[in-house]
Structure 1
Amino acid sequence: MLDKGEEEHEVRDVLLVEDSLIDAQLMRRLLRRVTSSYYRVTHVRTLNDAVLSAEDFVPDVILADLNLPDSRGTQTVASLQTSYPDIPLVIVSAWEDEAVSLRSVKAGAQDYLVKGHIDGANLHRVIRYAIERKRTELELVRLAHFDQLTSLPNRTLLRERVDHALARAMRAGSGVATLILDMDRFKEINDMLGHEIGDKLLIEAAQRIRANVRDQDTVARLGGDEFAVLLEGVSEAKEVLPVIERIIASLNEVTTIDGHEVKSSTSVGIAMYPENGNDLSELLRAADLAMYQAKSSGRGRYQFFASAMQEEAQSRHALEWALRRAVERNEFELVYQPQLCLRTGTVIGVEALLRWMSPTRGLLTPYHFIAGLEEFGLINEVGEWVLRTACEQIRRWHQMDLVPMRIAVN
């Protein structure tokens, strides 16, 4: 129960880790002299007692001696940081040593004070600045490791968690499943209803995915409408399937956003450690290939990675490279098939047919490359070339005083 004086001031809880009773009493007196804040001090004499206190006590700041009966030097800082990662730490030591001070701050302390050179006002100011610096530090960490829209871990934090998960799996001889989820029709929804609705749909999707996995599992946003899920302690597909089916069913449900009923679904690709990869890059690449296969098979489906997908992906990559080179080197050509009048037998027109003179495969019909042009975003560029080339050919025929004829472009 706070008395009247306490209620009128800002109240801060201080964990004081100090083995000297005399120094502890001095710190209490200095804090009592502060008129603008009320400091409620909890005193422990060893590092072990401080660590045990972390189970049920969350202070606003920690004041700690560097040398304790059970810890010395920067090991004290490291241990307190581990037990109280979000709490600012100020070292109060008898060592008046610049090198020790610098090592303490590098180890994670917000400030370093020397005993015998502190007054109440200075201590209050240091505590206030330490709290503000820690708050800024935590915000920077959050910005670096979490997606700003969904508050999920981002790719950077996912990489750290995957590294730890794979290390644990290696020691335990267990497996890890990496899932990539890509929302179907998201661009269409985003373009039709606007980015604000699209953002809210992503937030809702993130919450639904998170609700369908265990607390120890990681859900991350990779960017855009793509998410990743890390499932630890799974070795077989049958252990992963219930989670995937719950996620897909949840994301298939209609979402009402700002009066709009939005129906979406998700395609999921799954890669297993150690069968499909030994690090994040390999696992994401395998899961991405599987997701692409699931999306090609229809919406709202899942697919486990298979080695044949890698071969298919390599073939697609080779085709894309070859088609882009074909555009740059003008390897496409038109052939013209005459159209005859059945009554007179005269040529009344031609049909322009696209062919690709591949340096390695010879003359190819559109059956072999049209789908690739569409998939790799080259179809418009090639289509414009076809129309321009056909029109130029008609002009040349006219200049040769040939009988005018119509041309069809296929």
Structure 2
Amino acid sequence: MTETNPKPHILPNEKLEEDNFYYRESALMTSTGSWYIDFENKKSYWDDITRTILEYPLDFVPSLKMGMSLYAEEHHAFIANTFFECALSGIPFDTEILMLTANKRKFWARAIGKPIYNDAKKIIGVRGIFQDIDDNIQKEINLEKASGIVASQNNRLFNFAHIVSHNLRSHSSNLTLIVQLINDLDTVEEKLELLDNITHVSESLNTTIEHLNEVVSIQTSSNQLKEQVSFNNTLDQVTTSINQIILNNNVTINSDFSRAEFIEYIPAYLDSIFLNLLTNAIKYKHKDRDPVINISTSLDYTNKDRIVLKISDNGSGIDMDKFGDKVFGMYKTFHYNADARGIGLFITKNQIESLNGEIQVKSDLSSGTTFTIKF
């Protein structure tokens, strides 16, 4: 019986070309390139997809000597150890690594490698793939940042709600109690005496509302446009505004902004940060010595685009064991100064964090305090 629709006969070469076509298409769609390191001939081989991913010309011939130049400097030790374990101990790897293209562009890649053995079970090379996964990693990084911002905002909102509930309830309870006492009293003279208490409570309530309004204004004004601000000019403006306080307390201020002279920031926030930290350093000076305040800027060694501001003093210091977790709390004070309100550091922290920065404090009793701000 004759077959009516015979299948076309595919020659071996045609089949190989078809397989190669599907391989190249799959590699292109997934940004996956293959490579091979030949230990016996001391050569390195890349396919065209690998050359494209690494931004090298299609006629480029790789060499073993250029191995480390393919990876970001911060990952050199990790990748060297990974290849060493694969080449000598036969341990395959599947890892995410920060690579470097011919144009010095950093990108995240998935690197998979496995040892190649000869008939004598000796490792003669390493074969693997590089896959460009930079878009996915960047999305993960941005998602983590967004999650961190949301968590921070939720935490601030929770703290704010707690403060509002606690502080306003205290004032309302006082007012309610005084009104009840007035109603219970018989003479006008006694009632009038209690009216003075109402005045004091209402003034205190008004102060609390003003403080809470400051916190709210920080959150709503953090969307203001930033502009280039000079650290030196900001310091000059603040010291001019508190010049008499500086003179009366014989304060010495040393500043060095040579490593970072300017910052893109909201000017009013930088003014407020300087003002709160400087006046705190003066207010809590050590009783046996004149205040010395050192101010400097630098760049974060892990992220050169991030500016760091340090403000140190030789004042009374803070007992960190006792108050370390309360330093930036609202209405938290750590000294017995009559004019201490416990609002300045709370406001400063909120201003910094509203623009995704962070503030840390180190302090020793009787030797001084250092505030470090990473913008």
Q: Quickly name the TM-score band, shorter chain normalised.
A: under 0.3
Q: TM-score w.r.t. structure 1 length?
A: 0.26
Q: TM-score w.r.t. structure 2 length?
A: 0.28
